[in-house]
Amino acid sequence: MSVSSVAPRARVTSLPAAVSSAAAPEPARPTAATPDPSRRSSGANAIAGADLITLDSTRSQRTLRLGMSGADVRELNARLASFGYGVSASSDVFSQSTVKAVKSFQKSNGLAADGVVGPKTAAKLNLAGTPTDPGTDIPAPATPSAPTAPVTGSLGITRTLKLGATGDDVRVLNQRLADLHYAGVDASSSTYSQGTKDAVMAFQKVNGIARDGVAGPQTLRTFDAPASFDLAGRGGNRLIVDVSQQVAVLVRNGAIAKIVNASTAAAGQSPTPRGDHQVVSKVAGNHPRKQEQMFYSSFFQGNFAVHGNPNVPNYPASHGCVRIPMALAKEIFTDMPSGFSVTVRD
């Protein structure tokens, strides 16, 4: 599927302080930029106490490309995932998803889009640190889509649409999302609801574009030739949780029925267990020990469950479970009876 991306603003506003003109020259060979807490940016892009994730070019001198593996590839995937690209942050394999994310990053940063991480791309990644705090629910900075020219495309929408927008063009968007099986939208509604935002974010995840839940020019044009979620030959009735794309897909009789915005285990938390599972127990309503954090839970292995949660961001944020939007929790809970198949894959 075709992947392009709008570069998140955090790559501009959150540069490591070591590149400041005020920094003292190093007598030894250059090393990777080290963040200076006294020079962290302020305002909406600053997160107190967070660290900068840095792709260490002094430790990884080799050119990275499709098929390679290792700690440096895992570091690359973690960096790309922190920017909202559709890769698995914990993977140490340079996969096709990594190629697509790298090409999108290169296009957004004025580099040759070859999908290979050579010296120029590695250097640009080193200068694009995004403040993060692995394992927390602090959302990574998102980049609202802003049109520089009238939007064109099959939907005929000429403005950027976001939460709270109303009008016939919003109804057209909701109808198209529903046609593509993205869950949570009212096909007849002319309001850009939270359900629309979640569906747009799921659409962006599946298509490998910037995940901000805003229907801007790039997102709207992607509807001209949207990517199809790959079932990878898994038919029957099941829920497929794709960790790389951060979506959960309900499959009925071998066909896609619903695509749901989702969030799996954050870095530093118990990994969401990969493989084929079955629903072994269910808890309707709020979990008695978790209150609003686990809503309509379907447990598929030990304490791991698919459940509603108020916070389903554009990146892995859970303690290990599969989070889905609260508004869809009861519906998906009903779709998954005891014994229902659950597949978790990268």
172-218 pLDDT, tens digit each:
999 999 999 999 999 999 999 999 999 999 999 999 999 999 999 99
Residue 292: its pLDDT value, please?
Answer: 53
- 126 with 197, same domain: the answer is no
Predicted confidence band at 152 (pLDDT cuts at 50, 70, 90)? low
> Do 69 and 172 belong together in one domain?
no
Full-model pTM: 0.59
Question: Are residues 161 and 80 both part of a single domain?
Answer: no
Place of tokens 């020990």: 289
Domain final position from 175, 194, 228: 228
Answer yes or no: do 251 and 303 share one domain.
yes
What does the block give as tokens for 288? 């008695």
Cα torsion 70, 71, 76, 79 to 10°: value is 150
* More confident site: 293 or 41: 293
Asked whether residue 96 falls in the same domain as residue 53, the answer is yes
Q: Please choose, from the candidates 245, 277, 282, 279, the residue with its C-alpha nearest in 3D space to the C-alpha of residue 262.
A: 245
Which pLDDT belongs to residue 265?
94
**Average pLDDT of the chain to the nearest whole number:** 78
Report d(CA 341, CA 147) in Å as an integer.
42
| Residue pointed to by tokens 């400041």 | 20
Within a domain: 233: no
Specify if 5 maps to a domain.
Answer: no
Domain boundary among 75, 98, 132: 132
What's the domain count of the chain? 3
Note whether 343 and 167 are within 8 A (CB): no
Q: Considering the domain boundaries, does residue 4 fall inside one?
A: no
Task: Assess whether 264 and 214 both reside in one domain.
Answer: no
User: For the segment 83-112, what is each residue's pLDDT rounded down to a tens digit?
Assistant: 777 778 788 888 888 888 888 888 878 889
> Which burial class, exposed, middle or buried, applies to 246 when counting CB atoms under 10 A from its CB (0-12, 13-18, 19+)?
buried
pLDDT at 3 over 60: no
Residue 126 pLDDT class (50, 70, 90 cuts): low
Task: Give the closest residue to 61 by CA, choosing from 109, 102, 117, 15.
Answer: 117
Examine residue 3 and state whether it is found in any structural domain, yes or no.
no
Domain enclosing residue 32, as ranges: 10-132
